């Protein structure tokens, strides 16, 4: 913190230009927010479309209760909801322990009379940028229309995160909270080897839907082959040019 990441140096090839180098005082840095930004925007739009398509077209002034979990995959969905809530005539009751979502919805351009924001009590986890703690009855007492989460790692169809406290809250949300459960993935979460420093909180099959981006990644063929191997419990319900929504067979 407080150290420049890049330093300008004169270009050896063009004296009128310059090159960038890592600043000498920088030893390491951590970045979560803007990794896979395009993928996350596609996921957010896919989840938003799933929410809107679940509402009968003749209904107006709808009220929805949605739990937005931790992770930056969820962040951009909050922005879309804020921008479209008035136009869609939907009043959203958003429950979240995601500090990025809270900060985003508090911005003047995203504030909306159609959004009521609820948060549990607890302490701040700076690693996951979340509120962690034992105040899970806050969620358990509510029947949600949708519960949307992301995950750090998937190995052998099991879900993992970095900290024990975050895994405990995610476990309760996934196993005990009521509502349609959607898992938002950029696809890079799938790992070939386990990471023993991480904490398991559930399985892919605990969700109702998985939303992934439609990409032109070099690994696209690898991802498609991987999902084909899971077609015994994953069904592509909506294939959009930007995203794919898989329904999990129960």
Q: Check: CB of residue 140 under 8 Å from CB of residue 171.
A: no
Burial class (CB in 10 A: 0-12, 13-18, 19+), 110: middle
The CATH code belonging to domain 32-248 is: 3.40.50.1360
**What distances in angstroms separate CA 218 from CA 46, 240, 244, one per listed residue?**
22, 19, 17
Q: Check: CB of residue 113 under 8 Å from CB of residue 91.
A: no
Structure tokens at 218: 């070099």
Domain range annotation of the chain: 1-30, 32-248
Give the model confidence (pLDDT) of 111-125 as tens digits.
Answer: 778 899 999 999 998
Check residues 36 and 80 and name the one with the higher pLDDT.
80
**Percent of the chain residues past pLDDT 90, beyond the cut:** 48
**Percent of the chain residues past pLDDT 70, beyond the cut:** 92
Give the residue from 55, 89, 54, 64 showing the smallest Cα distance to 143. 64
Give the model confidence (pLDDT) of 39-75 as tens digits.
Answer: 899 999 999 999 999 887 667 678 999 999 988 888 8
Place of tokens 């063009």: 14
């Amino acid at each position: 913190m407080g150290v420049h990441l890049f330093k300008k140096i004169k270009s050896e090839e063009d004296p009128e230009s310059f090159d960038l180098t890592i600043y000498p005082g920088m030893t390491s840095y951590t970045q979560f927010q803007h990794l896979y930004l395009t993928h996350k925007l596609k996921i957010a739009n896919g989840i938003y479309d799933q929410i809107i398509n679940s509402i009968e077209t003749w209904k107006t002034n709808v009220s929805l209760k949605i739990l937005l979990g931790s992770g930056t995959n969820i962040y951009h969905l909050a922005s879309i909801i804020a921008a479209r809530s008035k136009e869609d005539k939907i009043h959203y009751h958003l429950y979240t322990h995601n500090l990025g979502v809270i900060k985003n919805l508090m911005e003047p351009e995203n504030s909306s009379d159609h959004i009521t924001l609820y948060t549990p009590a607890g302490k701040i986890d700076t690693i996951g940028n979340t509120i962690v703690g034992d105040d899970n009855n806050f969620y358990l007492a509510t029947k949600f229309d949708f519960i949307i989460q992301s995950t750090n790692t998937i190995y052998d169809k099991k879900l993992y995160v970095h900290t024990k406290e975050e895994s405990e809250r995610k476990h309760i949300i996934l196993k005990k909270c009521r509502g349609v459960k959607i898992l938002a993935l950029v696809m890079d979460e799938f790992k070939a080897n386990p990471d023993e420093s991480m904490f398991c909180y559930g399985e892919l099959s605990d969700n109702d839907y998985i939303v992934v981006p439609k990409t032109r990644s070099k690994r696209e063929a690898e991802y498609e082959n991987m999902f084909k191997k899971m077609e015994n419990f994953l069904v592509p319900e909506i294939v959009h040019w930007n995203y794919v929504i898989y329904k999990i067979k129960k």
